[in-house]
Each structure stands twice: as C-alpha cells, then as structure tokens.
C-alpha cells in the first residue's frame, strides 16, 4: 500500500500548515514535510491515513493551479523505481524517434573545431528541411599561470536530422569526403554515415567481429602488427588472412604467428625473435586508474577527464603510436572519450587488447585512404 505522496511546484509562500489544509480535504494527513533545493524550489512529502485518500488527493490535486504555480502530485517512489520508469520512457521515446526518422539522421565526423551549429545548418539546409541539429561540446579546463581557464570545445562530430530520407541520402552522397564551404582549408574531409542506435551499432559490430575474428569479444578486427606502419596494403588485414603483397620473410613469420595461436581476445601469444627480425614492440605497462577514487567521482565528465589522462599516456607509449604526433594522439584519445558508456572507456583503459583495437579503429577513421 502506498499512502505517501510527492508534491512539487509548491508556491514560495506555502508552509506545511497550508499543505495540510489543502490535502486534508481528501483524508487525514498523518505527516507532511516541505523540502527546498539550492534554487529555493519547494517540494513536499505527504502521508495520508489510507491508500484511498492518497489516490483521491492525487487525482484531485495533480495539475491543480495555485496562482502561477501548477502542482505536480504523484505517488512517492524509491529512487531506483523512478530511474527505471524514467529509463523506460526515454527508451520508448528514442525507439519511436528512431523508427520515425530512420535513415533521416546523419552522423558527421571530422567537423572543424571552430565549426558552429549555424555554419553546419547553412551547409546542409540546402538539401532539405532540417528537423534538428547538434554539435556536442564539452568544457575544457586549462591552467594559465595560477588561473584556471574554461573553454567550450567541440567534440569534432555532429548530428543533422532531416525531415525525410531523400534529403538525408542526397546530403550524404554529396558531402561525404568533402569539406565545408566555410572551412575550405580543412585537411580532414567529412565522414558521414546514417546514425545508428547504440544497440544496433553493437549488433553490427559483433557480426563484423565474428566474420573476421571469431575469438574476439568487444573489439574491431585487428590488423597484422608486422605491417601496420610498413606502408603496405596489408593495413587492416586480420591475423588469419594472408596478403600477396607480403614478402616471403613476412609470410613465414605470419604463419608462425598463426601456429603459435592467439590469446584470449584475439591478440597473438608472445613468440621468440627470428633471425634478422626485430622483436615486435610491446605496450609499455602503465599504472591503472585508482578504482576507489574513480568510483568516488560523482560527475561523469570528471570521470572521463580522469580516465583521459591514463588513456593519453598509454596511447603515447603504445607501439602503434610510433611516429604519431601529439595532435593525432590527442584526437585518438578524444574519440575514445566520446564513447557514452563509461564502463566501456574504463575497460579500454585497463585492457591492453581493447586499447589496441580502439587505436586501430581510430587510425582507420583518421586515415580512410590507408586501406
């Protein structure tokens, strides 16, 4: 039985006696308490004597106008129940929008750092009506002398949702691998794909992994490390596939890799050094994040910043990062921190195999012509 009610949007001049008189019209009020948040907005918890009287009060007083305030009255719920109901509503709403605007929403990568939403709208509105547009941003805090400087920085990607599929398709075909007219000197062409919900994206990723690397769990197909930066066309070829462009010596070493087998997650087991071949560089072991401290951080953006320091260091010391500039390493770090799931970012930070896969994925996006 739920005899407790939660009330918000209470007028500022209301006190507990006023609420008791108002709700007392529908039954006996056994207990009530007015709460206030830092913004001085009032809410209250009210206990009625019976469930029937609580239901009568809720039905009568929900959306009840008191001057300029409209009361919100509902059953008092546990935080876990509220979160579950809210998550369910958000999921239903997102599913409805994804169905309604399927193949209308474009995910645009490699946006110039100074690109504004207006400039993006001006560029894409010529293809049709835009329902919504967004460039995600975050606050970058830097220390200048003894002062902290806050700057709003673009995450380097955005979303443009058209009113119909034809306009979205035309915009994708004409603008993919092109630069914005307002940034003609940009060195990175736009990479445009239809937006895919996270669940669908994971399903496609899993199918792609199983096709090339059945033993892999949550990583992109791994390329052969012996030719990753040799300039050959073997970039992105999994371990179990040969490349006719490899020389005899490389082919022999690759076959020994396969005979040695792979460890859990698809990465090769350590093998001895062959004559005339330099040992493959290993990831320099770095300290993992302090999980107790990480769990004590309440703000999600602060958690990402904390993990970002470790990820940047590990990428810098990774054998795949040899010859990469600090700018490229920073971009790879930013792409990893752009993942919504914090637990996935934490796993990348602690799992060398997952980190290797993400670096390869990022390099393939930053260098689309390398394949």
Q: What is the CA radius of gyration of the chain?
A: 28
Burial class (CB in 10 A: 0-12, 13-18, 19+), 98: middle
Give me the chain's average pLDDT, please. 77
Average pLDDT over residues 290-313: 82
- Would you list the domain boundaries of the chain? 4-76, 102-195, 200-260, 291-370
Percentage of residues of the chain with pLDDT beyond 70: 77
Average pLDDT over residues 264-275: 43
Q: What is the DSSP string of 173-204?
A: HHHTT---TT-TT-SS--EEEE---HHHHHHH
Residues 268 and 240: their CA atoms lie apart, in Å, by 11
CA 189, 194, 196, 201 torsion-angle sign: negative
CA–CA distance from 275 to each of 74, 226, 268 (Å)?
Answer: 76, 15, 19
Whether 338 has a pLDDT exceeding 90, the answer reads no
**Quick one: pLDDT at residue 140?**
85
Between 108 and 296, whose confidence is greater? Answer: 108
CA–CA distance from 80 to each of 76, 83, 169, 296, 308 (Å)?
Answer: 12, 5, 41, 20, 30
CATH number of 102-195: 3.30.70.330
Between 95 and 137, whose confidence is greater? Answer: 137
Between 96 and 280, whose confidence is greater? Answer: 96
Residues 334 and 156: their CA atoms lie apart, in Å, by 9
Q: Which of 187-201, 221-235, 245-259 has the lowest mean pLDDT?
A: 221-235
**Quick one: pLDDT at residue 79?**
80
Whether 37 has a pLDDT exceeding 60, the answer reads yes
**Quick one: pLDDT at residue 54?**
92
**Quick one: pLDDT at residue 188?**
87
Q: Which of 154-158, 253-257, 323-327 has the lowest mean pLDDT?
A: 253-257
Whether 282 has a pLDDT exceeding 50, the answer reads no
Tell me the pTM.
Answer: 0.42
Whether 291 has a pLDDT exceeding 50, the answer reads yes
Average pLDDT over residues 160-180: 92
Per DSSP, helices labelled H in the chain are 16-23, 51-61, 79-100, 117-124, 165-175, 198-212, 248-260, 291-296, 300-316, 326-337, 342-350, 352-366
Residue-wise pLDDT for 114-168, tens only, equals 999 999 999 999 999 999 999 999 888 887 888 888 888 899 999 999 999 999 9
Whether 46 has a pLDDT exceeding 80, the answer reads yes
Whether 72 has a pLDDT exceeding 90, the answer reads yes
Residue 143 three-state SS: strand
Whether 258 has a pLDDT exceeding 60, the answer reads no
Assess contact for 357 and 222: CB atoms under 8 A: yes
Long-range contacts of 324-332 (CB under 8 A, 24+ apart): 328/366, 331/156, 331/362, 331/366, 332/358, 332/359, 332/362, 332/363, 332/366
Between 86 and 233, whose confidence is greater? Answer: 86
Q: How confident is the model at residue 190 (pLDDT cuts 50, 70, 90)?
A: very high
Whether 194 has a pLDDT exceeding 80, the answer reads yes
Quickly name the fold that domain 291-370 has. Answer: c-terminal domain of poly(a) binding protein (1.10.1900)
Whether 204 has a pLDDT exceeding 80, the answer reads no
Closest by CA position to 104, among listed 155, 166, 175: 166
Q: Which CATH superfamily is domain 4-76 in?
A: RRM (RNA recognition motif) domain (3.30.70.330)
CA–CA distance from 281 to each of 247, 308, 319, 324 (Å)?
Answer: 21, 23, 6, 15
Same fold, 4-76 and 102-195: yes
β 4-10/29-36 pair status: unpaired
């Amino acid at each position: 039985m739920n005899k407790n009610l939660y009330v918000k949007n209470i007028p500022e001049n209301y006190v507990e006696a006023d609420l008791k008189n108002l709700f007392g019209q529908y039954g006996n009020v056994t207990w009530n308490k007015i709460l206030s948040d830092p913004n001085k907005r009032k809410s209250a918890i009210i206990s009625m004597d019976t469930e029937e009287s609580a239901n009568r009060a809720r039905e009568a007083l929900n959306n009840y106008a008191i001057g300029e305030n409209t009361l919100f009255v509902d059953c008092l719920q546990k935080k876990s129940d509220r979160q579950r109901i809210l998550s369910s509503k958000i999921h239903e709403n997102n599913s409805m929008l994804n169905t309604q605007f399927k193949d209308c929403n474009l995910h645009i990568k490699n946006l110039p750092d100074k690109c504004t939403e207006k400039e993006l709208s001006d560029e894409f509105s010529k293809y049709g009506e835009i329902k919504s547009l967004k460039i995600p941003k975050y606050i970058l805090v830097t220390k200048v002398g003894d002062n902290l400087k806050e700057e709003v920085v673009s995450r380097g990607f955005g979303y443009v949702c058209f009113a119909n599929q034809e306009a979205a398709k035309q915009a994708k075909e004409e603008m993919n691998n092109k630069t914005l007219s307002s940034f003609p000197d940009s060195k990175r062409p736009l990479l445009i794909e239809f937006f895919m919900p996270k669940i669908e994206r994971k399903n496609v990723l899993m199918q792609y992994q199983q096709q090339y690397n059945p033993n892999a769990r949550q990583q992109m197909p791994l390329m052969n490390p012996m030719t990753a930066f040799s300039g050959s066309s073997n970039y992105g070829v999994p371990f179990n596939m040969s490349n006719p462009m490899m020389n005899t010596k490389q082919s022999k070493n690759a076959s020994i890799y396969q005979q040695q087998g792979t460890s859990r997650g698809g990465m090769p087991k350590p093998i001895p050094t062959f004559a005339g071949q330099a040992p493959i560089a290993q990831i320099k072991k770095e300290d993992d994040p302090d999980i107790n401290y990480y769990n004590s951080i309440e703000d999600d953006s602060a958690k990402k910043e904390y993990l970002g320091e470790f990820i940047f260091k590990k990428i810098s010391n990774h054998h795949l990062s040899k010859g990469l500039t600090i700018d490229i390493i920073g971009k790879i770090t930013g792409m990893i921190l752009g993942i919504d799931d914090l637990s996935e970012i934490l796993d990348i930070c602690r799992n060398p195999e997952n980190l290797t896969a993400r670096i390869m994925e990022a390099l393939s996006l930053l260098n689309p012509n390398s394949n």
